[in-house]
Copies of this chain bind each other. A is one copy, B any other.
Amino acid sequence: MSSEARGVPVVGMAGGGQLARMTQQAAIPLAVELRVLTGSAGDSAARVIPGSTIGDERDAADLSAFAAECDVLTFDHEHVPQPVLRELEHSGHTVRPSAAALEHAQDKAHMRQALGAAGLPCPDFAVVSDAEEARRFAVRLGADTVVLKAITGGYDGKGVWLCPVDELVSCEAFAAGRPVLAEELVRFERELAAVVVRRPSGDVVAYPVVESVQAEGICVEVLAPAPGLPTAVAQAARDVAVGVAELLDVVGVLAVELFATADGAVVVNELAMRPHNTGHWTIEGAVTSQFENHLRAVLDLPLGAPDLVAGPTVMANLLGSDAPALHANLASVLGRDPGVHVHLYGKQVRPGRKIGHVTVVGEPGSDVDGLRHRASAAVRGLRGEGGDDT
C-alpha cells in the first residue's frame, strides 16, 4: 500500500547530511515518512532512512521528480539554486521555506538589504566589487579593519575574511573577481543564537536564546540558555529572530546568529532556514526538539513547547581529528560519564569536519562550567585524546 493511501504525510528533504539524519529521529515517533534526495547511499542521512533517492539535489529534474513523491519539500542545506526552487514552486510543489524566504539565507547581500530596510539591527555594510571600493567603505566607517564575506556559498568560517584596510589589495576575498559583502567589524562580547520555528499560519515558537562559542569561525560549543544573559538582551534577541521570521515569511526553523555587544545591543550576523547547529541541544534539552518542530512546521501542524526540559544544557561539537576510530573510543567515553549523550553522524572522518556532537543536560541551577567540562571531556575522549579531564 502506498504511504498516501495510509494517510501518512511524506516530507522530502533535499540533501542527506546530519540534519536530515537527525530529522529522522523526530520523524519516527510522528510516523511522518521522511525521504531524502542525496548524492550517495553512503551519506549520513541515507544510512538511516529507507528508500533514499540518489541524485543531485541541486538539479531541477532530479529535484522535481523527488518533490512529486512528497507532500512537502524542505532542506538539509541552502545550496539549491534559486531558479530551481522557483521552478518547483511554479510547478505547484509545496516548498517550505519558500524560494523567496530561502534567498535571504543564500545571498548575504540580499539578507542585509532586507533586514536593514526593515530596521532590524545589522552591521553597516556595502556590496563592493574590489579592494578600492572596500577601502572607501572603511574610510566612510572610520574603520581600520573590515569584514569581507562571499555573498553566497560561505559556511563554517569559509568565505569570511577579517582584513586590515592597508592589506585589502591582497585580500583573497577579491580573488574570484566577484562582488563581496563588506561589513563593519562588530566588537562583540559574545555570540548568541536565537532559534525560532514558524508555521505557515504565522504561529511561532522561540527556543531559549543560547550562547555560541566559536573557534576559527566554527561553532564548537553551545550553552543553553546563554549564561547570565540579561532578560532584556534575551528578549531583544528573540524579538529580532521572530521579526526576521515574520518579515521573510519563513516556514520551519530559522536560526539567527547574533553578536551581543558590551552596551547590551544585539546585531544580526547570519541566518539559516533549517535545523541548525545551535539547536542540536534541543534533542535532549528541550521539550520539543528543533527537528520535530521543523517537521511540524513544514506540515503545518501545531508546534511543540520549546522550553527547557530540566536545567542548563551544553552541546559540544565533535570535529574530526586524525584518529578516526570513533567507535573504539565510545566505550571509554560512555564509561566515564553515564549522563552524556553522544551523537555520531556516520560520516567519514576528516580533520576539522563536523562528525558528531555531545550533549549534557543539567539539573535546574546546575553549574554551567561543570557541564562544559563534561561535554569537553567527552569530545576529547571521542577524538582519542585521552582520559585526562583536567
Query: Does A338 sit at the interface, judged by CB under 8 A?
Result: yes
CB distance from A203 to the nearest CB of B (A): 9
Q: Which 8 A/B pairs are nearest by Cβ-Cβ distance?
A: A31-B344, A302-B335, A29-B343, A302-B334, A305-B338, A50-B50, A31-B346, A305-B339
Q: Chain A interface (Cβ within 8 Å of chain B)? A: 1, 7-9, 21-22, 24-25, 27-31, 33, 42, 46-52, 205, 283-284, 287-288, 296, 301-305, 309-310, 324-328, 330-331, 334-335, 338-339, 341-346, 356, 361, 364
Establish whether residues A342 and B287, one from each chain, have CB atoms under 8 Å apart when the complex forms.
no
Can you pick out 25 interface pairs between chain A and chain B where the beta carbons lie within 8 Å of each other? A7-B324, A7-B325, A7-B327, A8-B327, A8-B346, A22-B28, A22-B29, A25-B25, A29-B342, A29-B344, A30-B342, A31-B344, A31-B345, A33-B47, A50-B52, A287-B339, A287-B361, A288-B338, A296-B334, A301-B331, A301-B334, A303-B334, A303-B338, A304-B338, A309-B361
A7 to B49, CA, bound (A): 20
B contact residues around A7 at 8 Å (CB):
324-328
A22 to B31, CA, bound (A): 11
A7-B324, A29-B341, A30-B330 known; 15 new pairs, CB 8 Å cut-off, are A7-B327, A8-B346, A21-B28, A25-B28, A29-B344, A30-B342, A30-B344, A31-B327, A31-B344, A50-B51, A284-B309, A302-B334, A309-B309, A309-B310, A364-B364
B contact residues around A51 at 8 Å (CB):
50
The oligomer's copy count stands at 2
Residue of B whose beta carbon sits closest to that of A300: B331
CB distance from A341 to the nearest CB of B (A): 7
B contact residues around A29 at 8 Å (CB):
22, 25, 283, 341-344
A334 to B303, CA, bound (A): 7
